[in-house]
Chain A
Amino acid sequence: MVEKALFTILLEGVFVKNFLLIQFLGLCSFVGVTKDVKSASGMSGAVVFVMALAATVSFVLFNYVLVPLKLEFLRTIAFIVVIAALVQLVEFIVRKHVPALYRSLGIYLPLITTNCAVLGAVLLNVMNDYNFIQSVTFGVAAGLGYTVAMLMMAGIRERSNIVNVPKAVGRGVTYALFVATIMSMSFVNFFGVIPLD
């Protein structure tokens, strides 16, 4: 039973509750970092890593510090502190050990701090009463869902740069949001796969 539940959580995180296209979290990076596939994939990798770490740490913090002290209402601010610190830590490690990746990510790395998708994933873990393994799975799944949407968007925008887009559709951010709308509508079809609760 446990395995099946985990697989359901994974599917939910990637497709049914896709963070960018269904829940509309973290849209700034969705529009800002999807001009080419290279930066989109770098950003996605960093987000997957931070989401998995944040899910782990915040689970421990919430269940072993905040709940015993009856301070659940502090979760938002506490999680923000944790996420910001984790991003900083990741930045240190990447700069020391993978300087090439650090240079190619540039400002996108610290940008994850303010990425509401990470906070959303962590808060949803709490709301859904997931246990430890489920929390981490959902964190990873949310990151993978983010990756899927980012790569699709970057691919579409890279190709549409070299074709004639009708003037009525617009260009730049207007065009990106237009594409995002259509992608979002197509992702709604995943609702039937696993019923939303």
Chain B
Amino acid sequence: MTDVLVNSIAVLAGLGFAVGAMLVAASRIFKIDSNPLIDEVAELLPGANCGGCGYAGCAACAEAIVESGAPINSCPVGGFDTAKEIGALMGQEVTESEPEYPFVRCNGGKSCVTLFDYEGVDGCKAALMLCDSRKGCSYGCLGLGTCVRACQFDALSMGEDGFPHVNKNLCTSCGNCIAACPNEILTFAKDSEKVHVLCRSHDKGKQVKAVCENGCIGCKKCEKECPEGAIKVTNFLAEIDQEKCTGCGACAAVCPQGIIEVR
């Protein structure tokens, strides 16, 4: 009995040791001479590995900045300060760009008809896989909080009204919540963009009215009212051209559904 015990431990330890030694040797043999600048840039990055830059992690982002000419301000978490430090290291000037925050493009919430009680895996993606939507509107926010869980910086919270709320002080604009939302409710919006349409339903007006009190019915009143011609209704949904919009609020005043928000 003791023999078996001793032998097993010896074999597994030996195997582990042999494999470990082989891997150490292999890592020496196949070592890649990387640019020391990459490590220095990686030092400056926040190290959150959130993926907000579009790369696998901070190390990959640093490599892209140094080797393949990715923009100096690739890291949305580090913001302007980090970009400036990296710029000093790389010998490049950086200009500050206006920060963008996630923005919820749905106003349905409690006013949108709920078709059934969902008791499956907690999360919007799981609910969407099960069926098209648990809400009457297949475009709207499901309110199960997938975006809240995707946020690594505690900047999102689920409000009483069944919507995610963004805390701009904590938000780093990494875009994880936007990527996590299976229904594309969230989008980036700049602070200078004053007017927003709080709906993304492309359903016909009659259908929208049947399921949601706060949905865009595509009546085109806002399109006619806008003095700048910045609003266009396509596929029964008003969309605002932020370049042309002056924030006068004329559209919000005539909207019968009250879904155009002026901040």
Contacts and interface: CB of A to CB of B under 8 A. Distances in A.
Nearest to B22: A85
Contact of B12 (A78, A107, A172): A78
A69 B7 contact: yes
Given A81-B16, A106-B56, A170-B129, A89 B26 contact: yes
A196 B167 CA distance: 62
A77 B15 CA distance: 11
Contact of A172 (B8, B27, B31, B129): B129
Nearest to B20: A85
Nearest to B7: A69
B70 interface: no
Interface residues of A, number: 26
A185 interface: no
A71 B32 contact: no
Contacts of B29: 92
A182 interface: no
B11 A69 contact: yes
Given A77-B12, A78-B12, A174-B129, A95 B23 contact: no
Given A89-B23, A96-B30, A81 B7 contact: no
A70 B207 CA distance: 72
User: For A66, A89, A95, A173, which residue has the most chain B Cβ atoms within 10 angstroms?
Assistant: A89
Contacts of B4: 70-71
A167 B132 contact: yes
A37 B120 CA distance: 32
Residue from the set B23, B29, B30 with the largest chain A CB neighbour count within 10 Å:
B30
A71 B23 contact: no
A85 B23 contact: yes
A66 B27 contact: no
B134 to A, nearest CB: 15
A10 to B, nearest CB: 30
29 contacts: A61-B15, A66-B11, A69-B11, A70-B4, A70-B7, A71-B7, A71-B8, A74-B8, A74-B12, A77-B12, A78-B12, A78-B15, A81-B12, A81-B16, A82-B15, A85-B19, A85-B22, A89-B23, A92-B26, A92-B29, A92-B30, A93-B26, A93-B30, A95-B30, A95-B32, A96-B30, A96-B31, A170-B129, A174-B129
Interface of A: 61, 65-66, 69-71, 74, 77-78, 81-82, 85, 88-89, 92-93, 95-96, 106-107, 167, 170-174
Interface of B: 4, 7-8, 11-12, 15-16, 19, 22-23, 26-27, 29-32, 56, 129, 132
